[in-house]
């Protein structure tokens, strides 16, 4: 198992990053929180987790810090929560919000994540309430111009499986009502709540 990959950040989008180490480019799915934290630096270290989905084909997930990877591992240990759902949770809510929701039994907040129903939210709380530490994480924000911001947000939503035209309309509506002073992360989180 690979613990982390450190090397040159070749490509970064809100849903995946490519890190080149030893002449090999590793593609890893990332959360919006990790996207924000890795910034634009040329050198990057991502803590990894790999899951086997089918036919022994691994999917790599990358995290900016060990705390987020640990929370991801706890989430995928819950029956009915796969890698994509856990990553969507970590993109929709901060690690601190998820931990607090589990600790306080806030089913409504966990259920607000696209694809997480009431039974799954309750299962997450029951399975993880005793395991979750109460450490809070901070989020740094990635700032870009409005056109690039919308383009990156739209790309991320399409990669997460949402219809492009529906996502585009929701993003336009959010930008129109909430203004252009948002980060990519905030824009995507708002869109996830409206799709």
The string of pLDDT tens digits covering residues 110-126 is 999 988 999 999 999 99
For the chain, list the domains and their CATH numbers.
4-63 (2.40.50.140), 67-128 (1.10.150.20), 146-194 (1.10.8)
Distance of CA 90 to CAs 34, 35, 85, 106, 166, Å? 9, 11, 9, 16, 22
Across 150-176, average pLDDT:
85
Q: Which residue has the higher pLDDT, 143 or 13?
A: 13
Q: Is the pLDDT of residue 55 over 70?
A: no
The predicted model scores a pTM of 0.67
Across 4-27, average pLDDT:
93
Residues 6+ apart with CB under 8 A from 62: 5, 17, 19, 26, 28, 29, 30, 34, 46, 47, 48
Q: Is the pLDDT of residue 7 over 90?
A: yes
Across 82-105, average pLDDT:
90
**Looking at residue 135, what is its pLDDT?**
37
Q: Is the pLDDT of residue 94 over 60?
A: yes
End-to-end CA distance of the chain: 36
Q: Is the pLDDT of residue 18 over 60?
A: yes
């Amino acid at each position: 198992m690979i613990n982390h990959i450190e090397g040159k950040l070749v490509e970064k989008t809100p849903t995946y990053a490519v890190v080149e180490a030893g002449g090999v480019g590793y593609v890893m799915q990332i959360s919006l929180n990790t996207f924000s934290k890795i910034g634009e630096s040329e050198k990057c270290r991502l803590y990894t987790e790999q899951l086997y989905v089918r036919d022994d084909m691994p999917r790599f997930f990358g995290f900016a810090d060990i705390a987020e990877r640990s929370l991801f591992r706890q989430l995928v240990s819950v029956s009915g929560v796969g890698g994509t759902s856990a990553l969507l949770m970590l993109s929709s809510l901060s690690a601190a919000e998820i931990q607090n929701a589990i600790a306080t039994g806030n089913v409504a907040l966990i259920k607000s994540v696209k694809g997480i129903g009431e039974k799954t939210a309750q299962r997450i709380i029951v399975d993880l309430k005793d395991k979750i530490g109460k450490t809070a994480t901070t989020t740094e924000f990635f700032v870009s111009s409005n056109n690039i911001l919308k383009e990156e947000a739209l790309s991320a939503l399409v990669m997460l499986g949402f219809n492009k035209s529906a996502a585009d309309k929701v993003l336009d509506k959010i930008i129109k009502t909430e203004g252009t002073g948002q980060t990519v992360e905030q824009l995507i989180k708002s869109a996830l709540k409206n799709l």
